[in-house]
Chains A and B, each alone.
Chain A
Amino acid sequence: SQQGEEDPQALSIQEGENATMNCSYKTSINNLQWYRQNSGRGLVHLILIRSNEREKHSGRLRVTLDTSKKSSSLLITASRAADTASYFCATDAKASNFGNEKLTFGTGTRLTIIP
Chain B
Amino acid sequence: EAQVTQNPRYLITVTGKKLTVTCSQNMNHEYMSWYRQDPGLGLRQIYYSMNVEVTDKGDVPEGYKVSRKEKRNFPLILESPSPNQTSLYFCASSSTAAGEAFFGQGTRLTVV
Interface residues of A (CB under 8 A from B): 1-2, 30-31, 33, 35, 40-45, 48, 88, 90, 92-93, 99, 101-108
Contacts and interface: CB of A to CB of B under 8 A. Distances in A.
- Interface size class on chain B is 20 to 34
A41 B42 contact: no
A102 B43 contact: no
B39 to A, nearest CB: 9
A105 B43 contact: yes
A107 B90 contact: no
Contacts of B90: 42-43
A40 B98 contact: no
Chain B binding site: helix, strand, loop or mixed by DSSP? strand
A102 B98 contact: yes
A107 B101 contact: no
B41 A42 contact: no
Interface of B: 4, 33, 35, 40-43, 45, 48, 50, 58-59, 88, 90, 92, 94, 96-98, 100-106, 108
A32 B103 CA distance: 17
Nearest to B35: A105
Contact of B41 (A30, A41, A104, A107): A107
Contact of A99 (B35, B45, B92, B97): B97
A35 B88 CA distance: 17
Nearest to B39: A107
A43 B57 CA distance: 22
Contacts of B103: 42-44
Nearest to B96: A101
